[in-house]
Amino acid sequence: MRLRVLASGSSGNAALITLHQADRRHDLLIDLGLSPRRLRGLLSAEGVDLEGLAAVLLTHGDVDHLHPGWARGWPSLLAPPIVLRPDHGALPARAGLSQATTRWIADELSLGPFRIRSLALPHDSEGSTAFRIDAGEASVGWATDLGRVPDPLHEFMRGVQVLGLESNYDPDMQRASARPEHLKRRIMDGRGHLSNEQAIDFVRSLHQADATPELVMLLHLSEQCNHPDVVRETWLRQAPDLAPRLRIADRRTPSEAVIAGPAALA
């Protein structure tokens, strides 16, 4: 199973998961945070079109995860199903996706060769969704836009080989930024975003529970309050043993593809 993050951050999020199995390719997209034109271009460079996706997994409805352009850009024919938790049931219509074919995911859903699981995450008033995608022996976990790590996330991510995890801000840069105090509070109060340290703590706790992911793809770095160099330095200082597993998704350009599971499934 192959993961390529197409873009990651407050200016837009989308990631593609691809599985080749028995001469067929199966693609899942996570989030629709790029404009229809841009996303279609990026998908076409990956050899798939929107109509060919097995499904779109929607983490939540913020505009950087569900771009307003989809109100008009969503295909009326052959649209892939949008997978979301029932709590988020109003999102497609609110975003203007009246033709959207929604598939509810309470805990678990089988979709072609994929087994998809979901978990609610604390984020603003409506929350976000963590996903775990398994196919054969390959497993990818995804958790972004979470104010803190809820306890069940540890068990949920046990055994994933590739973990996509938010690492939004450096606390010192956040506090020193020119942002208004209420915004800083909203981000750091446990219902906003995950800091670099919180991301490290979570990976460390998986490691201590003998469930270390082979690769950690850090997501959603703040442009104002974080920097890839700061993230790398923090990991080298606080978790040097885990730092070689680290990858950082780029804000605007597709990141290197990473493989989860046996190469035969890639």
Specify the residue, 64 or 134, whose C-beta has the smaller distance to Zn ion: 64
Could you tell me the smallest distance in angstroms from the CB atom of residue 210 to Zn ion?
31
Select 113 or 192, whichever has its Cβ closest to Zn ion: 192
Binding to Zn ion (CB under 5 A): which residues in 44-103? 64
- Work out how close the CB of 249 gets to Zn ion at its nearest, in angstroms, rounded to a whole number: 12
| Total chain residues near Zn ion (CB under 5 A) | 2
| Closer residue to Zn ion in complex, CB, 12/254 | 12
Q: Which is nearer to Zn ion, 254 or 261 (CB)?
A: 254
Q: Which is nearer to Zn ion, 1 or 16 (CB)?
A: 16
Nearest to Zn ion of 161, 168 (CB atom): 168
CA distance 115 to 248: 26
Laid out side by side, the sheet with 14-21 consists of 102-104, 82-84, 55-57, 24-30, 14-21, 2-7, 258-259
In angstroms, rounded to a whole number, what is the distance separating the alpha carbons of residues 63 and 225?
Answer: 20
Q: Show the binding pattern over residues 139-158: x = contacts Zn ion (CB under 5 A), - = does not.
A: ------x-------------
Shortest distance in whole angstroms from residue 119 CB to Zn ion: 17
Q: Nearest distance from residue 187's CB to Zn ion, in Å?
A: 11
CB nearer to Zn ion: give 139 or 144: 144
- At closest approach, how far in Å is the CB of 265 from Zn ion? 30
Residue 2 pairs in a beta bridge with 18, 259
Which string of DSSP letters, residue by residue, matches the chain?
Answer: -EEEEEE-STT--EEEEEEEETTEEEEEEE-B-S-HHHHHHHHHHTT--GGG-SEEE----STTTB-TTHHHHS-SSSPPPEEE-GGGTTHHHHTT-TT--EEE-SSEEEETTEEEEEEEE--TTT-EEEEEEEETTEEEEEE-S-SS--THHHHHTTT-SEEEEE--B-HHHHHHSSS-HHHHHHHHSSSS--BHHHHHHHHHHHHHTT---SEEEEE---SSS--HHHHHHHHHHH-TTTGGGEEE--SSSPPPPEE-S-GGG-
Assess 170 for contact with Zn ion (CB under 5 A): no
Query: Min. distance of Cβ 82 from Zn ion in angstroms?
Result: 17
Shortest Cβ 10–Zn ion spacing (Å):
6
Q: Which residues bind Zn ion (CB under 5 A)?
A: 64, 145
